[in-house]
Structure 1
Amino acid sequence: MIRVAFLINFSKEYKGGINYIKNLLYTNCITKFPDLEFYVFVPSNIEQEYIDLFSPYAKVIYTDIFKTFTIPWFLNKAFNRAFKYQLPLYMLFKKHKINVVSHSFFWGNYRSLKLINWIPDFQRLHFPELWTKEQLDNITNIDNNIVKYSDVVILSSYDALNDYKKFVPEKLRKARVLQFVSQPGSISDVNKLYPQVRKKYNLLDEFFYLPNQFWSHKNHIVVLKAINLMVKSGLNPILVTTGVMNDFRGNNQNLVIIKDYIEKNNLTKNILLLGLIPYNEVLILMRKCVAVINPSFFEGWSSTIEEAKSIGKTVVLSDIPVHHEQNPNHAFYFNPRDEKELAHILTNLWSNRDVLLIEPTEKIKEELKDELLRRTRAFSENYYKIIKSLMQNN
């Protein structure tokens, strides 16, 4: 039996990481590899919603090592700082006979453990101006440690692999591309559930949806400008946005700019900023919208697009390489710096919203379900090959 551990040792606001791990764990329910067993190590005070998220697919192990300001937490930090070796955590792994630690920002010289780490993207290489020097140094140091100590470095796209080749061409043998698949959730009756969400957020039945964090590179402003052009042309489009309303880098000027633009152009009725909402509501809004928009200047591999692909939703995407690599069937691409081009696309979609909002036929739903199953199997089988190859080289 190969025991694979995942660690929730990062901020729970990092929803992309949480959902990635959940989706990866879920895939084994489809392929059911009998020699794989998953464990998730979580802070002892973690909320029940996260237990509910992971427990169907893995054994959940509670530990004070990830609970801040506890004695085990301090001890683990002290060992790591002094010896670059997390002894308390390592002993916990030994207790549970863990063979592999995966996707967990965990590194060091641990002879009896195989380490798989994930670099989501190399945004810092393309947009260094979005980071302070200290932040750039920190993330570069993290990436260097991942490459140095990991047996395998997971990348989510071939676009990211191209960046990896520039970053550490001498370590190319460690790199593996694993294109993840997001599950859209088994929401049985969206039409019954949506009225509750509609009432909760004071929504209408027709709207575009932009479910992105409010980080500056996510480029919300081009969509706001496009909506403004549509309003000036006599249309009355609605844009619903969701996501954490701050930048993890600490510079929230982007949000100030967004709110100022909405106010100065009298768009408060056209652009709704809902902030962070429950994930099941995100999936409901995605199903009920006219189209999903992702205007980002940079992505590693967009879970938004993956979810939209799985339900056959029309997407409007910035014209960047990774969006083409994800290759959704119903996609319109635009220059992320050109609000006029975007406004033209959105105007055409808004004019045909009655057609776009028609519920998919049962045949189309079955086809989408089959295609999702195919992609999910591929995701799981590719990960399994990585694990098996790693253990065979033990």
Structure 2
Amino acid sequence: MRIGIYVQWGVEGWTGGINYVRHLVMGAAALPPRLRPHIVLLFDAAQAPALHCYEGILPLVDEVRVVSGGRDADGVFRVQDPETAFAGLDLAYPLPHGFWNPPPHLPRVFWIPDFQHKRLPRFFSGQELANRDALFAEIAGRADMVVLSSEAAQRDLAEFYGVEADRSFVLPFCTVGEADWYTGDVAGAMAKHAVPGGYLMCCNQFWAHKDHLTLFRALARLRDGGVELPLVCTGSVHDYRAPGHFPMLQREVQRLGIAGQVRILGLIDRGDQIQLLRGADAVVHPSLFEGWSTVVEDARALGKTIVYSDIDVHLEQNPPHGVAFRAGDPVDLARALLRSRSGFGPTAGTEREAQAREQGAERLLRFGMGLVHLARAAVARRGAR
């Protein structure tokens, strides 16, 4: 089996896409020799400035091919000399959206992260809603296989686009800590970012659907009751769909009187973020919608207590040290934080972290085996058409 992993994210800063590709390679490479596919990294030339994001996985692949492609004015993705770029591959995944004409032998396999525009249309412009609907409908019509990260997303695909179960495939991704995660300098990261001890951590982009507002209001409610919980936030402060969202949150922090306990770091180095997570008392994840949450998987990989909104995907992920609260309800979030405080505490160097690390190897194997099963199913379906 020869599988190409297509690198199409990096320069735009979407860390979710970068981590997804990295773990696809890591999972496939972790399989025993009799199951391990020949791994080809298909590196989009446009992503050359982001090569450093993928340096850690280069030793794991058998071959690297540079693919020159781009999107035309109609949104169609075209690859120069596709017969050479994809020669000998059983699967190339995930194909760029709009790449409708790969070589005839290659299964048309696309990944759709989520259907937020259907469940939370208020966060999208009319044009964005129309564009996403048109794109996903075309994928639904053209794909041999549509890959989702959760059963919740698979249900949405069937409900909104009529794709039957035998033409969709659920491949939940995982986070597996690298060796330096568990030996890093927590105190050094805290000092570097001027973070005090005893803090909660929220690792979400400051996008409207991530719902920091509910978290801030819960903290204010707790403070009014005599419980002050410091909070550290990481993630981009720019939301292209709502440029005024972050300034509104800043004003709300001031109005609620919690500015002294909320530290917003913005985008920081991934290594620093991991060390701050290890040093945090707990993770809080109030998001209103996810396709499959990297934050939840990071918490699982580090053995963290995580207080999360009760959306379908989070309940499906079911992290071992998780406490759910009603999404969008600051009162219930405040209660959940109080209820879970007995499980708070840094996990760096603890038995809980060691157990999480051991379990990560098994999760990575499952993810890698899932990719192989996807390849087999896609090849079989392509051959049957």
TM-score by length of 2: 0.89
What does residue 287 of structure 2 align with?
296
Alpha-carbon distance in 1 for matches of 2:54, 2:172: 25
Q: Do the aligned partners of residues 118 and 196 (structure 1) sit closer, same or farther apart at CA in structure 2, a change above 3 Å counting?
A: same
Of structures 1 and 2, the one with the larger relative CO (CA 8 A, separation 6+) is 2
Pairing 1:197–2:194 present: no
Provide the C-alpha distance between the structure 2 equivalents of 1:46 and 1:300, rounded to a whole number of angstroms: 27
In the TM superposition, residue 90 of structure 1 has moved relative to its aligned partner by: 1.6
Q: 1:105 aligns with which of 96, 110, 113?
A: 96
Distance apart, 1:57 and its partner CA: 2.8
State the distance in 2 between where 1:225 and 1:212 align: 16
Alpha-carbon shift at residue 188 of structure 1 (Å): 5.7
The SS at the match of 1:112 is: coil
- In 2, the alpha carbon distance for the partners of 1:330 and 1:92 equals 48
Q: Which residue of 2 aligns with 1:49?
A: 52
How far off its partner does 1:92 sit?
4.6
Are residues 341 and 51 of structure 1, via their aligned partners in 2, closer, same or farther at CA, if it must alter by over 3 Å? closer
Residue 109 of structure 1 contacts residue 149 of structure 1 at CA under 8 Å; is this kept in 2? Answer: no
Q: Is residue 77 of structure 2 the alignment partner of residue 77 of structure 1?
A: no
Shift of 1:220: 0.4
Aligned to 1:383: 371
Residues 1:36 and 1:248: Cα distance change in structure 2 (over 3 Å): farther
Q: Is the 8 A contact 2:28 2:36 kept in 1?
A: no
The alpha carbon displacement at 1:344 in A equals: 2.3
- The answer to whether the 8 A contact 1:3-1:97 is kept is no
Equivalent residue letter for 1:343 = A
Distance 1:54 1:312 in 2: 24
Q: Does 1:163 align with 2:156?
A: yes
C-alpha spacing 1:227/1:11, structure 2 compared with 1 (3 Å): same
Cα distance, 1:3–1:165 mapped onto 2, change above 3 Å: closer
Tell whether 2:247 aligns with 1:252.
no
Asked if the contact 2:211/2:287 (under 8 Å) is kept, the reply is yes
Letter in 2 for 1:255: F
Contact 2:9 2:18 in 1 (8 A): no
Q: Cα offset for 1:60?
A: 3.6
Please state whether the residue corresponding to 1:46 is helix, strand or coil.
helix
* Aligned equivalent of 1:38: 40
Match of 2:143 in 1: 150
Structure 1 residue ranges without an equivalent (≥5): 67-72
Alpha-carbon separation, structure 1, partners of 2:131 and 2:345: 45
Q: Give runs of aligned pairs for residues 264-343 of structure 1, distance below 5 A.
A: 264-343=255-334
Check 1:161–1:240 CA distance in 2 against 1; reply closer, same or farther (3 A cut).
same
C-alpha distance in structure 1 between counterparts of 2:211 and 2:349, whole Å: 31
Cα distance in 2 between the residues matched to 1:25 and 1:113: 19
Give the conservation status (yes or no) of the 8 Å contact 2:26–2:364: no
Residue deviations 1:162-221, cap 9 Å, x none? 11111122544310111111123323655x612222222111121000001111111000
Partner residue in 1 for 2:345: 356
8 Å contact from structure 1 (residues 241, 273) kept in 2:
yes
- Could you tell me how far 1:378 is from its partner in structure 2? 1.5
2:178 maps to what in 1? 185
- Contact map agreement 1:243 1:275 (CA 8 A) in 2: yes
Query: What 5-or-longer segments of structure 2 have no aligned partner?
Result: none
